[in-house]
A and B are shown apart, each in its own frame.
Chain A
Amino acid sequence: MAAEKAEMDKLKKECDALRTQIEAARKAVNDGSMSASAGGVAGLGRIQLKLRKNLKGHLAKIYAMHWSADSRQMVSASQDGKLLIWDTFTGNKLVAVPLKSAWVMSVAFAPSGNLVASGGLDNICTVYNIKAASPKTLRELDAHTGYLSCCRFLSDTEILTASGDTTCCLWDLETGKQKTVFTNHIGDCMSLALSPDMNTFISGACDSLAKLWDLREGACKQTFSGHTSDINAIAFFQNGHAIITGSDDCSCKMYDLRSDQEVITYQDPSLNAGVTSVALSNSGRLIFAGYDDFNCHIWDSLKGEKIGVLSGHDNRVSCTGVPNDGMGVCTGSWDSFLKLWN
């Protein structure tokens, strides 16, 4: 008993010492602010994008959307119990996938365009072959003990999931089994994003932390703090060196991976709504952030200024995405519509 208490005290002391050491190391490299050094960069002025298409088809709240790698097709998920695959050039619906469980929270398109995956309160990630004559369930990935909040394909044979059970998981689609379980968060994992080089991924959770993971080692490499509430959305900056997060604390943040710290906060006193989703334009200069206030606000990523807004939805913007060719931005909402802007 006494020996255990002694070891516990020793460990707590070491814990505190390491935390202090990390903070000191971060401070030591914090030799200038991002927004200050962006003082020399020309401002963009007001960004005004036009609504190009209003996609009607879902009958209930839309919770998620994901662009296909071809920048033309897009998949959306609604609690009406359907996934819809759209041709965004024509506005036509190409495929409807009926879901076993209507409580869907996430959807993903495989880079090949052959598969889509979805999951939600059923705790299962279901993978569908959409190239078959009618959508065929390929796999039901069932091992999480909490809801499925996010999923992303690495290829037709591997998929990453994030769950309310506080873990992320890499699955082998050929066997349907878990390859690696990523454990370290102490709150529900809400979102994940793959690095451009596919060696690492980042996760955001209800413990208000963002974590960087090595995909092959299975280890957490870095932890980013600063948010004061759940992180709902996370994205990689295209050069792989920075990440953007969106939180219920009404702010977005950029963290630089190499400096291991927050470098800008995107917040505005007039914005008192949580951030649900984030997406970046192709140069990384524009951040599209979906909010509970029914809008998608546009931020200058370097200067930290709000420079535009996409207004038109009649309910919370739940998901946002920019296709690989960067030609537009899609917003999905609890009002059951998806809108395309550029």
Chain B
Amino acid sequence: MSSNIVAMRKIVQQLRLEAGINRVKVSQAAADLQQFCLQNAQQDPLLTGMSSSNNPFRPQKVCSFL
């Protein structure tokens, strides 16, 4: 059995698998993605920003009495 045939059969089998799935309309998919982003916007610190006291990467400035 030629290895080319074996390989080709595998390709066809994979394509059959991929051809068989159900597909959702792009308009529906887009609406769902938008809804997800908008619903989670308030929990996204890079969108909402943060105060320096809440900012974990901001170096803490410490006042000390000498």
Quick one: CB contact mask for B11-29 with A, threshold 8 Å, 1 for yes? 1101111110101111111
The answer to the question of A269 belonging to the interface, with a C-beta cut-off of 8 Å to chain B, is no
A4 partner, pick from B2, B11, B26, beta carbons under 8 A: B2
- Could you tell me the distance between the alpha carbons of A323 and B56 in the complex, rounded to whole angstroms? 12
B47 interfacial contact with A, CB 8 Å: yes
Complex contacts, B17 vs chain A, CB 8 Å: 219-221
Which residues of A pack against B, CB within 8 Å? 4, 7-8, 11-12, 14-15, 18-19, 21-22, 25-26, 28-34, 37-38, 41, 44, 47, 49, 52-53, 71-72, 88-89, 91, 184, 219-223, 237-239, 241-242, 256, 258-261, 263, 281-286, 301-302, 322, 325-329, 340, 342
The count of residues in chain B whose C-beta lies closer than 8 Å to any C-beta of chain A is: 43
Q: Which residues of the other chain, A, contact B37 by a CB distance below 8 angstroms? A: 41, 283-285, 301-302
B:29-55 near A, CB below 8 Å: 29-34, 36-41, 43-47, 50, 55
A262 and chain B: residue at smallest CB distance: B26
B62 within 8 A of A: no
Q: How many pairs of residues, A versus B, come closer than 8 Å at their CB atoms?
A: 177
Bound Cα distance from A329 to B32, whole angstroms: 25
Which residues on the B side are within 8 Å of A19 (C-beta)? 15
Instruction: Rank and list the top 7 A-B pairs by shortest CB-CB distance, nearest first.
Output: A283-B40, A283-B44, A52-B57, A18-B15, A258-B24, A32-B27, A256-B29
- A222 B44 Cβ-Cβ under 8 A: no
Q: Which of B2, B14, B32, B33 contacts A184 (CB 8 A)?
A: B14
CB distance from B46 to the nearest CB of A (A): 4
Task: Decide if B40 touches A340 in the complex (CB within 8 Å).
Answer: no
Residues of B within 8 A of A (CB): 2, 4-5, 8-9, 11-12, 14-19, 21, 23-34, 36-41, 43-47, 50, 55-59
Contact assessment for B36 and A258 in the assembled complex, using a CB-CB cutoff below 8 Å: no
Q: List 12 A-B contacts (CB under 8 A).
A: A8-B8, A25-B19, A38-B30, A52-B57, A71-B56, A220-B17, A221-B17, A260-B23, A263-B33, A281-B44, A281-B47, A283-B38
Take A33-B26, A256-B26, A258-B24 as given contacts and tell me if A286 and B56 are in contact as well, using a CB distance cutoff of 8 Å.
Answer: no
For the complex, give the distance between the alpha carbons of A31 and B31 in Å: 12
Please report the C-alpha to C-alpha distance between residue A281 and residue B57 in the assembled complex, in whole angstroms: 16
Instruction: Taking A258-B23, A328-B46 as given, write out 12 further A-B residue pairs in contact, using a Cβ cutoff of 8 Å, ordered by the A residue number.
Output: A8-B4, A14-B12, A26-B23, A31-B26, A37-B31, A38-B30, A223-B18, A258-B29, A281-B44, A286-B47, A325-B45, A328-B56
